[in-house]
Amino acid sequence: MSRHHSSPDLGPSSSPIAATDPTVYSPEVLRGHFAALGLGNAPVASSSTAVASNVVPHPTVVPVTTINGIRYTRLYPHQYPSGLFSNELDRNRRSFMSRFLKVTTLRYGALPAGADQDMEIGLIVQVMKSYVAFLKCSLYYWNGVYLRFDATDHTCEAKQILEAVAECQVEYVDSYDFARAKSMDTMAIDEFEGQIKLTVAVEPSSPQVTAPPFLVSNIGWLNSAVSALLSSFGTIAVSVHIGTDSMHFTYRIEFKSVDAANRAVASLNLDPASDGVWRWSTIEVAHWTGERAPNSPHRHHPHFDDKGLCTEFIRQESHMPRSVKNSNQHESHNRVRRERIEDGTDVRTTIMLRNIPNKLDWMSLVALLNKVCFGTFDFVYLRIDFRSCNNVGYAFVNFSDVSGMIAMLDQIEGQGWTGFKSSKCAEISYATIQGHEALVQKFRNSSVMQEAPFCRPHIFHTYEEAISKPGLSVRATGDLAHFPNPNNAMKFERSMANARIMGLFPPNGATNIAIHRGFVSDFDRGSPRDVQHIANMRQQVGPVVTTSNLNEHQRRACEEWYASQFGISQHGRVPFTHIPVILVQQFMALAGYGSAPVAPIGSQRRHH
């Protein structure tokens, strides 16, 4: 058994108290222990004295101190109790929680998950627009709605909201089940996401000053100082001092937020911290890796690759394509060329990242960017298909520092996507709209800002902004910034009106969502060219109408006609409000009712 999952009554394997009574040492062990601490040899009775006096020496008792729930023998921590970290929680207990939710039923159990994709997604998305708990959340559908959250406290709050407001039954699922639902390679799962390893070195603040010995009583101060530093990134769920090596102290910390852990690793590697009369400094920070917990689902379930094939615990050779560098962009004007960036002849800052796996969410994309070019980007927009809630394969990223763009060329362009079912390599080109201000101005007045948070663009604090802007600190680098509110009422209203025509905001369920959401425009949403383009497309399927003036007899007749022509759904006859308007018009013409009861959209929406 790993020493990180041993009995809480025993110390770590490197401790002199391992596999012994924690308060009793043999003289030989104590002698080596004191020498290791630089305190000389332990006061042990000599053998000649023991023989001469014929007295057996009493075993030396070493005091055990408890600090923050962890027992210490001198500066050495004992093993912490199992179950403190999220990956050690038992999946079968009622107290289990995670960063993943699955909606099992809707309407108080009347509608099982997987029965109606449009209805399920629509209901959950509507709730996501109204509550802060969903700001850092992504939605995925596979025989039901799955939600992935950045923070555990938001997961718990969202579960309560969905059960109370949306009348859903929701359960926690672990990362293994979520990866299986997304058809991801389960071997690519980071079971320890949100957890970091931090090592700090303690030394006197000045070589000229004689400092008192660093005692176990100083551990509490060091624990508080480390927690205060890390709290600047986000709320800490668990912080445990797990080991001491000379004057190097190692901590295992879990944040409630995965993004906070990612930023902590990147920021402290970029700017190590130091403090105190006893000066301490961070010398190593990394994401936590280690042996899986005994109750980890990854120990007891077979692994599946990104093709859904069982690997029987043995990782198959990756099918990820070899690196291919811009094979089709050699003469493209929008190709990103490293040499032109370095010599200053190309000053464009916004790129388009293409060939993104459709099941990659925006939080995973930001985590990848933080790993490659932390603190250099200030805008990210992963475009989402509103119907399927998957991305459409490309994203826009703006850089405030071109070193980040060069890092993207070196580490992302031409590379495959680990863990995802995609044979494509990432490609990078320049975007049409350039610059942070232009991007913000475009989207602040767009209807997309009224969609669920995971569909919106996001802006971030850069390193230069964090160190220079009043009210921020260097530890705010990479954190989400507030997206500006609309400043052009006419443009915003035009975008919203166009969104209603497109079916993003259907008037009381009377629009044909399946057709309208299938429209794809090559122009910016809400622009004059886009409006004309959509109008031309809509002429192919008929005028936009609402059916609020139809009486009940006509509606029931329409339902019967639709059932005879197209059949019924798995829940029975399709309600009138779910029948496409074009088919309602067809029924009215066939039945001889004429078009009088059907009024154009706009004449009735004023009354809602």
Give 569's pLDDT tier (boundaries 50, 70, 90). Answer: low
> What is residue 199's predicted lDDT score, i.e. its pLDDT?
92
Cα separation, 33 vs 206, whole angstroms: 27
Range with the poorest average pLDDT among 13-17, 399-403, 580-584: 13-17
Share of the chain above pLDDT 90, in %: 33
- Rounded to whole angstroms, the Cα distance separating 289 from 219 reads 24
148: pLDDT strictly greater than 90: yes
Q: What is the pLDDT of residue 560?
A: 86
Does residue 350 register a pLDDT over 90? yes
Average the pLDDT over 364-379 and give the result.
94
What residue segments make up the domains of the chain, in order of their start?
100-173, 338-487, 491-607
**Distance of alpha carbon 369 from its chain centroid, rounded?**
12
Contacts of 595 (CB under 8 A, 6+ apart): 585, 588, 589
pLDDT digits (tens, 9 = 90+) for 21-51: 433 344 444 344 434 444 344 444 444 444 4
| pLDDT of 99 over the 90 cut | yes
CATH topology of domain 338-487: Alpha-Beta Plaits (3.30.70)
Average pLDDT over the chain, rounded to an integer: 76
312-326 mean pLDDT: 46
Distance of alpha carbon 357 from alpha carbon 416, whole angstroms: 10
What does the pLDDT look like over 239-297, one tens digit per residue? Answer: 999 998 888 999 999 999 999 999 999 999 988 887 665 667 777 888 888 776 666 65
Please name the residue ranges forming H helices in 104-184: 117-128, 152-164, 175-181
Residue 61 pLDDT grade (very low, low, confident, very high; cuts 50, 70, 90): low
Segment 418-441, tens digit of pLDDT: 878 778 899 999 999 999 999 999
Q: Is-contact 383 394, C-beta < 8 A?
A: yes
Interacting residues of 377 by C-beta distance below 8 A, sequence separation 6+: 369, 397, 398, 399, 400, 404, 460, 462
pTM: 0.68
For 240, other C-beta atoms within 10 Å of its C-beta total 21
Output the pLDDT for position 532: 59
Does 506 have pLDDT greater than 60? no
Measured CA to CA in angstroms, residue 275 lies from 209, 218, 231, 255, 473 at distances of 16, 14, 15, 22, 16
Give me the pLDDT at residue 590, please. 81
Contact call for residues 18 and 10 (beta carbons, < 8 A):
yes
Q: How many CB atoms lie within 10 A of CB 585?
A: 16
CB atoms within 10 A of CB 103: 24
- Identify whether the C-beta of residue 438 lies closer than 8 Å to the C-beta of residue 366: no
Question: d(Cα 388, Cα 141) in Å, to the nearest integer?
Answer: 7
With cut-offs at 50, 70 and 90, classify the pLDDT of residue 167: confident
Average pLDDT over residues 297-304: 58
Yes or no: say if 414 and 426 are a contact pair by the CB < 8 Å rule.
Answer: yes
**Residue with the larger pLDDT of the pair 249 and 520:** 249
Q: Decide if pLDDT at 63 tops 80.
A: no
Per-residue model confidence (pLDDT) at position 155: 95
Q: Which of 159-163, 273-277, 528-532 has the lowest mean pLDDT?
A: 528-532
Q: How far apart are CA 109 and CA 488, in angstroms?
A: 44
